[in-house]
Amino acid sequence: MVQAKGGEEARCCIVGGGPAGAMLGLLLARRGVPTTLLEMHNDFDRDFRGDTVHPSTLEILDQLGLAESVHKLSDSKIFGPTLLTRCGPFRPFDLRRLKTKYPYILMAHQRDLLALLTAEAKKYPGFQLLMGARVVDLIRQDGAVRGVRYQRNGNVHELHALLTVGADGRFSRVRHLAGIDQVRTSPPMDVLWFRLPHLTDDVDILGGAFGGFGRGHIIGGFDRKEYWQVGLVIAKGSYQSLRDHGLERLRRLIVEIEPRLTKHLESLQDWRQLSLLSVESSRCQSWYKPGLLLIGDAAHPMSPVGGVGINYAVHDAVVAANLLSEPLLNGRISTNELHAVQSKRQWPVRIIQSFQRQMQKRVIARALEARERQFLHIPWFVLACNAVAIIRDLFPRMIALGVVRVRVDE
């Protein structure tokens, strides 16, 4: 590693080219804030990243004139899951009942969404995207963070900025370098993601998603049109035991839970076809320090329950852009303004994480304890609540639109 080269400058340095970072970069660039976005990888192409674009994010993209473009990326839509129960198929919710222009979850590859957002941001002269840029340290001056040192192409560079934003995910390097601690909010689990092919005589899943459990595991899947995206929820740390027993046993296990996938699983021939997601949910008590702000999973790593992680990260970015664009343009930003971002976003995050915690404790944990293949038993009070419109639509509204609706300030 060579010595740091001459300093570069930006009003805002964003670390992490995921949904939060890409959206914030675009919004700041639209408002004329000189912004540099650093992404440690050389491309956006990672398998089994969150691909769910919820109605709230579609509404935001619509505000930006990008809704039509994002719909060109995919025509795979999820309206609600179908669960196999003792009384037959049960649909806990249907997004088509919600009052929104986009009453569905769009399944779009995250790599394509990020490419769309960054391509739009590049239309503005103050935006710069640096791929393959790995942050190695924070620049500190007079008790405040004033940028980062990053490695790219074998050289270390300095990027000085009025504000540094950590949007680099659940394993945030920026959070670690800043010494910001996390508080765990729900029990951990792991998810094995894999793809199964669509077959000529395929299963017809109402709503585009299915779920079931048994044998100490939970399985769920999404119809991606070209293939089925399937997730197997397993107990934390049990992956190696599964692998030691062999792929054939894993296939039999899945068939016992979901017999309709028997023919599909013939295509699962190698462990390299599976991707392990280590899941934990937590949040930071403070999202900021002078000159530094955390957003998205860097501030509050989310459980995959409800698939809301991308969308809450995007909401963070929108609120941050709404509140911080003017101070950044004026060349002054205080901890009070950073606190305002956290204050506006932390309680929706706490509410959804509380819901996720209850789901993991009361539903997922119990399902992982079940030793036999079982059909879900839906308690009578759940069925009763599902018959009352205002209660029935509360959960899907929170998942689809957020605890509060977020809009871009024009």
The whole-model pTM stands at 0.86
Give residue 296's region: left, alpha or beta (phi > 0; psi -120 to 50): left
171, 207: one domain: no
Domain hosting 356: range is: 7-77+109-183+283-401
CB 25 within 8 Å of CB 127: yes
The CA distance from 227 to 273, in Å, is 14
113 within a domain of the structure (yes/no)? yes
**Least confident span in 99-103, 195-199, 276-280:** 276-280
Half-sphere exposure (CA, 13 Å, Cβ side) for 237? Answer: 2
Nearest partner of 46 among 246, 193, 255, 180, judged by Cα: 193
249, 291: one domain: no
Residue 374 predicted with pLDDT over 70: no
98 within a domain of the structure (yes/no)? no
The CA distance from 71 to 107, in Å, is 10
CATH number of the domain that residue 33 is part of:
3.50.50.60
The CA distance from 292 to 87, in Å, is 53
Domain count for the chain, please give it: 2
Mean pLDDT across 163-185: 93
Last residue of a domain, one of 228, 262, 279: 279
116, 164: one domain: yes
171 within a domain of the structure (yes/no)? yes
214, 176: one domain: no
161, 115: one domain: yes
Note the residue count of the chain. 410
Paired tokens of 87: 């009384």
Q: What Cα–Cα distance (Å) separates residue 333 from each residue in 32, 109, 160?
A: 16, 35, 15
pLDDT in tens, 62-91: 999 999 999 999 888 888 776 655 555 666
**Location of structure tokens 């800043």:** 178
Q: How many other CB atoms are found less than 10 A from the CB of residue 58?
A: 24
203, 120: one domain: no
- Report the pLDDT value the prediction gives residue 400, as an integer from 0 to 100: 83
- Report the pLDDT value the prediction gives residue 363, as an integer from 0 to 100: 67
289 within a domain of the structure (yes/no)? yes
408 within a domain of the structure (yes/no)? no
83 within a domain of the structure (yes/no)? no
Q: Which residue has the higher pLDDT, 253 or 378?
A: 253
Who contacts 311 (Cβ-Cβ below 8 Å, separation ≥6)? Answer: 52, 53, 54, 56, 57, 402
Nearest partner of 364 among 225, 219, 252, judged by Cα: 219
175, 290: one domain: yes
Last residue of a domain, one of 258, 279, 300: 279
Last residue of a domain, one of 279, 295, 315: 279
Q: Which residue has the higher pLDDT, 224 or 151?
A: 151
Paired tokens of 363: 């539903």
127, 255: one domain: no
If you write DSSP's letter for every residue of 374-398 in order, what string do you get?
EPBP--HHHHHHHTSHHHHTHHHHH
Q: What Cα–Cα distance (Å) separates residue 396 from each residue in 56, 79, 93, 111?
A: 12, 10, 6, 26
354 within a domain of the structure (yes/no)? yes
Q: How many other CB atoms are found less than 10 A from the CB of residue 33?
A: 25
219, 174: one domain: no
Mean pLDDT across 167-193: 88
- Report the pLDDT value the prediction gives residue 2, as an integer from 0 to 100: 38
pLDDT in tens, 48-64: 566 889 999 999 999 99
Mean pLDDT across 119-124: 97
Maximum CA extent, the chain: 68
210, 152: one domain: no
- Report the pLDDT value the prediction gives residue 238, as an integer from 0 to 100: 86
Going by pLDDT thresholds of 50, 70 and 90, the confidence category of residue 153 is very high
316, 204: one domain: no
Most confident option among 238-247, 272-281, 283-292? 283-292
**Least confident span in 3-7, 115-119, 315-319:** 3-7
**What type of residue is 406?**
V
85 within a domain of the structure (yes/no)? no
Who contacts 363 (Cβ-Cβ below 8 Å, separation ≥6)? Answer: none
273, 288: one domain: no
